[in-house]
Amino acid sequence: MNVVTHQQLLQAQGFTVIDDIFTNAEVASLIAIIQRADSSNDTFRKTKDLFAIRQFLKEVPDVVPFVFNDMLKDTIYRLFGDGYKPVKSIYFDKPGASNWFVAYHQDLTVSVKEKADVPGFGPWTVKQQQYAVQPPLPVLESNFTVRIHLDDTDEHNGALRVIPGSHNKGIYRPETIDWSIETEVSCPVPKGGIMIMRPLLLHASSRTTNNHKRRVIHIEFSKEVLPAPLEWSELMR
């Protein structure tokens, strides 16, 4: 892995793709553990278009040693150094016949245990008993997300579409995108590979058109210490 190249891509484009972080056997183990999980909790969402598990690492703890294999831990350390910890996790299973899509947006909120009135943090939302709040911009600029792909993914089964460099423009409302100056690219990721992205990168996902599944483990990392009494909802030590 060319560390400098991936760091430069993260700085300039807001994302990078790295192949072969997980072997086929490791991917199979992850899928098997997920399939055994008890899906009766409120953090599980299942429709004909999407199966999602919020607080994934807490709800399915058996996946943790498989998710954080030596390759992933080494990659994160070499790209970002010490100090980053997982603070949010979601599993997305987009079936092959799914019409589910996501319009362009930035990931502007972080998940916390309880709601509290803290200067610079807001507005607030709550979804499936999970509080989310928009933090000050430096927190979002520091954080990064790792998306672990359990299937080959391209533009036909929900690979992210992104606007390179949009993460360097602060809060960027989708309705203000100037397509005369912006360029959209698709981010295909092979099975066992990862996409690393900045939360402020404008991104979207299309409907599936090739009848292939798209299963992704989405983990957000931060090295920020939240001001008391706020606490990360899923902080892993």
Q: Answer yes or no: is 101 within a domain.
A: yes
- Given a cut of 70, whether residue 179 has pLDDT beyond it is yes
The enclosing H or E element of 217 equals strand 214-222
| Mean per-residue pLDDT, 43-71 | 85
Separation between Cα atoms, residue 185 and residue 198, nearest integer Å: 15
Q: Which of 155, 164, 154, 136 is nearest to 10 (CA)?
A: 164
- Per the structure, the count of domains in the chain is 1
What DSSP state is assigned to residue 153?
Answer: B
CATH of the domain at 215: 2.60.120.620
Q: Answer yes or no: is 62 within a domain.
A: yes
Q: What angle do CA 137, 138, 143 make, to 5 degrees?
A: 100
The more confidently predicted of residues 222 and 93 is: 222
Half-sphere exposure of 48 (CA within 13 A, CB side): 2
> Given this model, what pLDDT does residue 129 score?
75
In Å, what is the CA distance from 152 to each residue of 32, 102, 106, 108, 188?
17, 19, 24, 27, 8
| Mean per-residue pLDDT, 207-221 | 90
Q: Answer yes or no: is 152 within a domain.
A: yes
> Given this model, what pLDDT does residue 122 score?
96
Average pLDDT of the residues of the chain: 93
The enclosing H or E element of 171 equals none
Pairing of strands 85-94, 51-54: antiparallel
Q: Answer yes or no: is 120 within a domain.
A: no
List pLDDT tens digits, range 3-25.
Answer: 999 999 999 999 999 999 999 99
List pLDDT tens digits, range 192-211.
Answer: 999 999 999 999 998 888 88
Pairing of strands 203-205, 214-222: unpaired
List pLDDT tens digits, range 29-55.
Answer: 999 999 888 776 766 666 655 688 899
Full-model pTM: 0.94
Q: Answer yes or no: is 182 within a domain.
A: yes
Query: Mapping DSSP to helix (H, G, I), strand (E, B) and coil, where does residue 30 land?
Result: helix
The enclosing H or E element of 19 equals none
**Domain carrying residue 35:** 3-106+140-222
Separation between Cα atoms, residue 217 and residue 213, nearest integer Å: 13
Separation between Cα atoms, residue 237 and residue 86, nearest integer Å: 8
Q: Which of 206, 199, 100, 75 is nearest to 153 (CA)?
A: 206
> Given this model, what pLDDT does residue 96 score?
66
Amino acid (1-letter code) at residue 194:
I
Q: Answer yes or no: is 32 within a domain.
A: yes
Give residue 202's Cα distance to chain centre: 13
Q: Answer yes or no: is 132 within a domain.
A: no
| Mean per-residue pLDDT, 140-159 | 95
What percent of the chain has a predicted confidence (pLDDT) above 90? 79
| pLDDT band per the 50, 70, 90 thresholds, residue 83 | very high
Pairing of strands 214-222, 160-162: unpaired
The enclosing H or E element of 129 equals none
Q: Answer yes or no: is 194 within a domain.
A: yes
In Å, what is the CA distance from 215 to each residue of 12, 28, 151, 152?
27, 12, 6, 9
